[in-house]
Structure 1
């Protein structure tokens, strides 16, 4: 059943590479816990204990607000295909914005994605696998392009206006740091 590891091993990297989505969990010391599904080509394992993922504009901005108050983060991948597997990475993360010095170098790891708003750099302190025997089979039909088209239509100024209106605070009223 469940096994813990100090860092990513080759089998974990193979599992991650085969997944079309992952989930992010964060929480401030008080308030709501947030779990978000993520897709697109937005995640890189950059070392045995480091994950970098690119966050794009969404209807909320909980992760950024939570990390300002408590840097804990959990990432989870579920295998929906042949091999049953749930993989989690536990650690702490920092938020980078396009205005930050490290942004350009890390953003270069990804294909350009309109509406990119943060990069999270996660220091992984534990990796855990579990069976996934109850996770159902699903077929991957393909990626959605809805968010990309929405951001392209809005343009940089429209996306920034959206951030100002919808992404400045979490559901619990914590600032997200989106606009500095």
Structure 2
């Protein structure tokens, strides 16, 4: 059974920051468009500003559907799932904003010396709801490295 909050709880934040992988889901408004789900997970690319604001460093390597969808409608869900320890799934529902490489907002958050290779944008998420559920169907995996 899922539980819901209007913002991240302290136990969510510490758990989220310990995860090695997360997924981002976005969707266009058009009925003939498709939902995009992208795995993310380079260490040190996800940040929690406070209980209602998070961001991640978006990297090249695939298309730019997330950025396209956010520019169109801002809808975004970020999901974390435990692969070790007690089962848990946490979803962050929010409104996303894109700060592209070269903008002041991007540079303020990621100065040149801290950029991950392939960095192309900051995806800022204003969280309006958090859900947590058990995640019993998620198998255990071993983290092998970046």
Same fold (TM over 0.5): yes
- Asked if residue 4 in structure 1 is aligned to residue 7 in structure 2, the reply is no
Structure with the larger strand share: 2
**93-102 or 67-76, larger mean C-alpha shift:** 93-102
Return the alpha-carbon distance in structure 1 between the equivalents of residues 138 and 17 of structure 2.
Answer: 18
1:151 corresponds to? none
Q: List gaps (5 residues or longer) in structure 2.
A: none
C-alpha distance in structure 1 between counterparts of 2:115 and 2:101, whole Å: 13
Mapping of 1:119-138 within 5 angstroms? 119-138=122-141
Matched, 1:33 2:35: yes
Aligned partners of 1:55, 1:103: CA distance in 2, in Å? Answer: 11
Q: 2:76 aligns with which of 61, 73, 78?
A: 73
CA distance in 2, matches of 1:14, 1:134: 22
Q: CA deviation at 1:142?
A: 0.9
The CA RMSD over aligned residues, in Å, is 1.5
- Determine the C-alpha separation between the residues in 2 that align with 1:58 and 1:65: 15
- Aligned counterparts, 1:136-155, within 5 A: 136-143=139-146
* CA displacement, residues 65-89 of structure 1 (integer Å, 9 cap, x when unaligned): 1111110000000001011000000
**Matches of 1:96 and 1:63, distance apart in 2:** 12
Instruction: Give the alignment of 1:98-117 within 5 angstroms.
Output: 98-108=101-111, 111-117=114-120
What residue in structure 1 maps to residue 66 of structure 2? 63
SS of the residue corresponding to residue 102 of structure 1 reads helix
Mind listing any 5+ residue stretches in structure 1 that lack a counterpart? 144-180
1:1-36 Cα deviation digits (max 9, x unpaired): 200011111110122022101000001102010000
Q: 1:86 aligns with which of 55, 66, 89?
A: 89
> Which residue is equivalent to 1:47?
50
Runs of 4+ residues over 2 Å off in structure 1: none
Asked whether the 8 Å contact 2:80–2:90 carries over to 1, the reply is yes
